[in-house]
Amino acid sequence: MEVFKRRPYQTPGAVIRPLGFAPAGARSRPYTKFRRENFLNLVLHRLPAGQSADGTCCQDVKSQDAGLMAMVIQGARQGAIRAGGGNGMVRAIGWVSLGLGLAGVAAPRRVARMIGAGESDDSRDALLAVGLREIASGIGILSRPQSAGWLWARVGGDVMDLALLGAAAYASDRSQRDGGRLAATAAAVAGIAALDLSCARRLGSQGIGAAVGWAQDHAIHLKKTITLNRPREAVYGFWRDFTNLPRVMGHLESVEPVGDGRSRWRAKGPAGRSVEWDAEVTEDRPNERLAWRSLPGGDVDNAGSVRFEPGPGGRGTVLTVELRYIPPGGALGVAIARLFGREPGQEIQEDLRAFKQMMETGEVARSEASLGRIRHPAQAPAG
Amino acid sequence: MRATCWMGRNDVRVEQVPDPKILNPRDAIVRITSTAICGSDLHLYNGFIPTMEKGDILGHEFMGEVVEVGREIHNLKVGDRVVVPFPIACGGCFSCQNHLFSVCENSNPNAWMAEKMWGYSPAAIFGYSHMLGGYAGGQAEYARVPYADVGPIKVPNGMADEQALFLSDIFPTGYMGAENCNIRPGDTIAVWGCGPVGQFAIKSAFLLGAERVIAIDRFPYRLRMARESGAETVNYEEVDSVHDALKEMTGGRGPDACIDAVGMEAHGLGAVGAYDRAKQAMALETDRIVALREAVMACRNGGTVSVIGVYGGFVDKFPMGSIVNRSLTIRAGQAHVQHYMRPLLERIENGEIDPSFVITHLMSLDDAPHGYETFLHKQDECMKVVLRP
């Protein structure tokens, strides 16, 4: 007969109590234990266990362990069945996560014994928490298999699990600890962690690409469109003279003609540096299309085109800008820039907005506050 | 100069701030002679509008004298007396050319913020959060007015500030609310909210030919002012159901159009009011739409609900079924003030209306915090507070 201790702190049981499972540390009524056994039986397709006087199941330990393994394997099989095409491995990981999580929540003591951590209350609490986490990450992965975030969460969870296993190895209550099983579990978790890591990184690179648009050669590919209430000739005329562009494009510092149809561009790069490149016009159909490309030897490889079309029903000009460039710093540079709230697409969008304002109003809209972090918006900007 | 600055929730203070400067060639600087506190300023005061920062200058209803013009301004000269509309409109974009000035495409330098919230950005507004431009407002001694060749209109010499000031916001707003009802002879218009905007909506409805106007509020002094304009009134704290009262008053059919001049801080009674308050407190709903719900449900089949109250975000339990199944039209928007200023100025000059009737409190700019409190709590039968810098 197990002795349950009162816990002074809130346990995951507060969360799962409504599910009919007895929380660790509370007084477990026979009814609740009975329900839990029957749930397990239901999942594992066993006959209902007979009840003893205190409600503990009468089936032997080994078959219960085997039943749990069956549950996990069932989950993996589900994953394998659903896997196929695209992120099959990721989905499989999701199903296994769900399976493990359900096992941990349904039978924490048994799982704890299986992995060699012993059947103490501490390990039961830990397994409950781990189980809930696994369920959450499993649901997360399965609902968004193309997102790297959940896989990174799994990696974090695996690291946590390794830490917990390490703590269990040095637990004070050594009577129930099984060193061999702990080692085997740690090896398995490490292997799973490696798998999660590789999937997360693979998805991560796809993720940036999915949002921004990776072409085959890992360039960033942007396309933005804007309608200007001005005739095509005026819009083309402004754009064709590249030296005008720094007036409206915030990240361009200067554009200078260097003769022979070429121009030297300088822009603000990452970390406050400037980047420079020479470019030549590759296509120039007046009032229709303008295309340019950077020449080899510059800091940033880029190519772009601008299309000018009449708006529907004669409503102004529709400008479509396409830009391809390999950012300095590569994918990591983009990710870091993202952290600071700067997306390549957003900058181009703001530049196009400024261009539209210049074309339609003759000036770029400036409010006191938009000029910087100013406490009193009436404060004039420096310079 | 002194300016009323937003310092936090329920905290406005008159601070010393630097004078505004010309930033763009089409700017003008106006020395403000009169400025008012708007009902929508109370949403800022109560902390319902996001992207406010400590030190932001409030105020979007103001008029005064031009003291400086940018080099591209030729329609105004130093010394001209002007009223400034609250939406900042460039005059050159598709929206402005279609006279939809309050959705100008160019005036908001922080357009990306508003796009995240609403899909696309409307025009910037003076002194109304960074999402709407971050422009300094007009409850101050001076203000910078962008696109001064589009917005401000000159005030005729004989007209007092009190008569012209409300062309900046509340008169065109009430008028547009009434105009959006497509009033035909014989129509009955119901107006929720007898604050200043509601009062102008009532008067405008009559100017546009409404047969009857029914005004709904709970403050007796506000209902009295509505009656003075010719409206019939319903005090929703004294009737069992506004819907039933309106039904009875309109011979069982309901008003032909309903104007919501209440907005997101609607005060509601009973379970419905409590529901909205609770949801708003738990940030599960951003706006309280007690009045809007009532307006939709009370409108006659095929009628129009004209929304001029300010709403910011997302609402709960909106009676979409009532709208679809009964052929209702919803028209909404911030007033396209620039479109209405000249025609309404003419009406004032002709003596058809004297907008100063809403003013109940005249204060110095330094008393702005007291003005906000008085206006918010409707103390001293407060209807409209005008500040003199």
pLDDT of residue A98: 85
Q: Which residue has the tokens 């009190």?
A: B162
Across A184-193, A246-255, A327-336, B343-352, least confident range: A327-336
Residue that terminates a domain, selected from B332, B352, B379: B332
- The answer to whether the Cβ–Cβ distance between A367 and B110 falls below 8 Å is yes
Gap between the Cα atoms of B255 and A204, Å rounded = 58
**Residue B325: which CATH number?**
3.40.50.720
A89/A380: higher pLDDT: A89
Total domains, chain B: 2
- Taking one residue from A and the other from B, the number of pairs with CB-CB distance under 8 angstroms is 114
Option in A357, A365, A376 nearest B17 (CB): A376
Gap between the Cα atoms of A66 and B153, Å rounded = 85
Give A361's contacts in chain B (Cβ within 8 Å).
26, 90-93, 106, 147
pLDDT tens digits along A187-237: 888 888 888 887 777 665 554 333 344 344 567 888 999 999 999 999 999
pLDDT of residue B228: 97
- What residue segments make up the domains of chain A, in order of their start? 13-211, 220-371
* Closest alpha carbon to B353 in B224, B222, B232, B199: B199
pLDDT at A7 over 90: no
pLDDT at A55 over 80: no
- The answer to whether the Cβ–Cβ distance between B136 and A378 falls below 8 Å is yes
pLDDT at A59 over 60: no
Q: Which domain holds residue B60?
A: 2-169+335-388
Q: Looking at the structure, do residues B311 and B339 belong to the same domain, yes or no? A: no
- Interface of B to A at Cβ within 8 Å reads 1, 3, 5, 15, 17-21, 23-26, 53-57, 72, 90-94, 97, 105-112, 124, 130, 133-136, 140, 142, 144, 146-147
* Closest alpha carbon to A118 in A170, A58, A64: A170
Q: Looking at the structure, do residues B222 and B358 belong to the same domain, yes or no? A: no
pLDDT at A58 over 50: no
Angle between helices A88-106 and A179-208 (to 10 degrees): 140
A371/B24: higher pLDDT: B24
pLDDT at A115 over 60: yes
- The answer to whether the Cβ–Cβ distance between A361 and B133 falls below 8 Å is no
Q: Looking at the structure, do residues B323 and B202 belong to the same domain, yes or no? A: yes
Q: Looking at the structure, do residues B98 and B201 belong to the same domain, yes or no? A: no
Mean pLDDT value of segment B300-314: 94
Q: Looking at the structure, do residues B49 and B176 belong to the same domain, yes or no? A: no
Helix runs in chain B, H state only? 39-45, 94-97, 111-118, 161-164, 170-179, 196-207, 220-228, 242-249, 270-281, 290-298, 320-325, 337-349, 368-377
Mean pLDDT value of segment A93-117: 82
Q: Looking at the structure, do residues B20 and B155 belong to the same domain, yes or no? A: yes
pLDDT category at A167 given cuts 50, 70, 90 is confident
> How much is the mean pLDDT over chain A?
72
pLDDT tens digits along A288-301: 999 999 998 888 88
Mean pLDDT value of segment B208-216: 98
pLDDT tens digits along B86-129: 999 999 999 999 999 999 999 999 999 999 889 999 999 999 99
pLDDT tens digits along B144-189: 999 999 999 999 999 999 999 999 999 999 999 999 999 999 999 9
Q: Which residue has the tokens 């911030």?
A: B334
pLDDT category at A54 given cuts 50, 70, 90 is very low
Cα distances from A285 to residues A228, A262, A315, B290, in angstroms, run 19, 17, 21, 58
Is A349 an 8 Å CB contact of chain B?
A: yes
Read off the pTM: 0.71
pLDDT of residue A302: 86
Residue that terminates a domain, selected from B332, B360, B378: B332
B31/A61: higher pLDDT: B31
Across A159-168, B3-12, B107-116, B366-375, least confident range: A159-168
**Residue B39: which CATH number?**
3.90.180.10
Q: Looking at the structure, do residues B354 and B378 belong to the same domain, yes or no? A: yes
Report whether A102 contacts A16 (CB < 8 A).
no
Gap between the Cα atoms of A165 and B266, Å rounded = 57
pLDDT category at A23 given cuts 50, 70, 90 is very low
Q: Looking at the structure, do residues B158 and B45 belong to the same domain, yes or no? A: yes
Instruction: State whether ipTM is beyond 0.95.
Output: no
Closest-CA residue of B relative to A315 is B94
Q: Looking at the structure, do residues B205 and B128 belong to the same domain, yes or no? A: no
Residues in Cβ contact with B354 at an 8 Å cutoff, skipping those fewer than 6 apart: B163, B348
Please state which architecture CATH assigns to domain A220-371.
Answer: 2-Layer Sandwich (3.30)
Could you give the 3-state DSSP secondary structure of residue B53? coil
Q: Looking at the structure, do residues B195 and B130 belong to the same domain, yes or no? A: no
pLDDT category at A72 given cuts 50, 70, 90 is low
Give B144's contacts in chain A (Cβ within 8 Å).
368, 378
Option in B26, B56, B92 nearest A377 (CB): B56
Mean pLDDT value of segment A11-38: 50
Single-letter code of the amino acid located at B39? G
To test the contact with chain A by mutation, choose from B15, B93, B142 the residue with the greatest count of A C-beta atoms within 10 A, namely: B93
Give B107's contacts in chain A (Cβ within 8 Å).
365
Option in B56, B91, B94 nearest A315 (CB): B94
pLDDT at B36 over 70: yes
Option in A316, A346, A366 nearest B23 (CB): A366
For chain A, give the number of residues.
383
B110/A18: higher pLDDT: B110
pLDDT of residue A212: 40
What is the least distance, in Å, from the CA of A356 to any CA of chain B? 8
Q: Looking at the structure, do residues B95 and B218 belong to the same domain, yes or no? A: no
Option in A346, A360, A369 nearest B90 (CB): A360
Give B18's contacts in chain A (Cβ within 8 Å).
376, 378-380
pLDDT of residue A359: 92
pLDDT at A12 over 70: no
Q: What is the DSSP string of A87-137?
A: SHHHHHHHHHHHHHHHHHHH-HHHHHHHHTS-S-HHHHHHHHHHHHHHHHH
Nearest 5°: the CA angle A174, A116, A18 is 105
